Amino acid sequence: MGPGVALKIFRRLTASALVLALLAGCGSEKQEGSPLGQAVGAVAKTAVGAIAARRAARSGTAPAAPAQVTRADLEAYDMPILRAVIAARGADAFVTITDQKGSVVTWSTTDGTTFTLRDGVLIQTRGLGPDLMSAKAPVVQQLLTNGGTHQRVYYFLGADDRSTTRTYDCTVAVVGSETIQVMGKSHATTHVTETCARAQGSITNEFWIEGKMIRKSRQLASGGAGFIDFERIVD
């Protein structure tokens, strides 16, 4: 009876989530109680998202892009727009600038996830769960130097809520000139890879640099969130 009952219960994730919401109870402090309910919703969404992503992976089709938005629609906002795709999450979002300090720009989704890039190089994320809290990262000039080496250090806040440091030795390789399409517009870029190694393994970030500007990139956010594909759609 024990395992049987338990099995049924575990299958009924949604039901338990619902009861959990009830468990939050009621009272005068609405503001304090509500996040539990929101979180239940968030968990449900995450689970659904993950399932959709898995199905997509199995069937070989990519997760659907956000509803048919055209470049004209985005340009109509008359503000810089970046696209961020997190494959591991099945997430795809157009993000806008919420803070700019010199070369450091923070982009935000509507639901409060932020990506902070220094000249297009990712240095922080917030709201992903496993977040990149800070980073020692190269500048664009370094990424354009074929064979150049540098140290890269990631500071993550992971599942254990503690800061984790990962130090890599990286080498830049200029792959060559490539003309890429970013949402229907072509850009002449230099394709660059940054291969970063440490004893436990290596990762590769990729950049497509147009002049001095990173037009498109694929950069590691954290162990839990994986890589993020960025495309600068509207300047």
Partner 1 sequence: MLHSSIRLVATLAVGTILGAGLAHGPAMAEMTRSLNINGTTGIIDMPSGDAQNDAAFTFSVAHVGPMTRSTISFQFSERLSASFRFNTWREWNELFPLDDAKQFDRSIDLRYQILQESQYLPALTIGLIDLAGQGLTSSEYVAATKTFGDRLKVTAGLGWGRLGTQGSIGQPFGPRPPLSSDDYGIPHTDQWFRGDAAPFAGVEFKLNDRWTFKGEYSSDAYLLEDDERGLIDVRSPFNFGFEYQKGPNARYGIYSMYGSEVGLVFHLVLDPKNRATGGVMGAAPVAVDARPSRAADPEAYDGGWVTQPDAGPLLTKNLAKRLAVDGIAIEDFAYTATTVQVRIRNNRIDAGAQAIGRTARALSHVMPASVEVFEIVPVVNGVGVSKVTIRRSDLEELEFAADNAALLRDRVTFSDAGPVPGNALGDDGLYPKFRWSLKPALRMLEPLKGDIGGRLSASYDLAPGLVLSGSIYGRLLGNTDDATGPSSSVLPHVRSDGGLYATNGDLALERLTMAWFSRPGENLYGRVTVGYLERMHAGVSGELLWKPVESRLALGVELNYSKQRNTDGMFGFDEYDYDIVTGHLSAYYDFGDGYLGQLDVGRYLAGDVGATLSIDRVFVNGWRVGAFATITDVSAADFGEGGFDKGIRFSVPLNWALGNQSKNAFGATLRPSGGDGGARLDVDGRLYDSIREYHTGSFDPEWGRVWR
Interface of this chain with partner 1, residues 185 to 214, rule: CB under 8 A: none
Contact (Cβ atoms closer than 8 angstroms) between residue 202 and residue 195: yes
Q: How many CB atoms lie within 10 A of CB 179?
A: 9
Strand partners, 177: 190
**182 touches partner 1 (CB under 8 A):** no
Count, residues near partner 1 per rule CB under 8 A: 77
Q: Give 63's DSSP letter.
A: P
Nearest approach, Cβ of residue 94 and partner 1 (Å)? 16
**127 touches partner 1 (CB under 8 A):** yes
**175 touches partner 1 (CB under 8 A):** no
Amino acid type, 182: V
**Binding-site member from 94, 141, 148, 163 for partner 1 (CB under 8 A):** 163
**139 touches partner 1 (CB under 8 A):** no
Return the residues of window 7-26 that contact partner 1 according to CB under 8 A: 7, 9-10, 12-13, 16-17, 19-20, 22-26
Whose Cβ is closer to partner 1: residue 7's or residue 175's? Answer: 7
**58 touches partner 1 (CB under 8 A):** no
Return the residues of window 83-112 that contact partner 1 according to CB under 8 A: 88, 98-99, 101, 104, 106, 108, 111-112
Contact (Cβ atoms closer than 8 angstroms) between residue 209 and residue 189: yes
**Binding-site member from 82, 122, 135, 170 for partner 1 (CB under 8 A):** 135
What is the distance between the alpha carbons of residues 76 and 72, in angstroms, rounded to a whole number?
6
Cβ within 8 Å of residue 216, ≥6 positions away: 180, 182, 187, 189, 207, 208, 229, 230, 231, 232
Degrees to nearest 5, angle at CA 42 with 37 and 45: 130
**57 touches partner 1 (CB under 8 A):** no
Q: What is the largest CA-CA distance in the chain?
A: 67
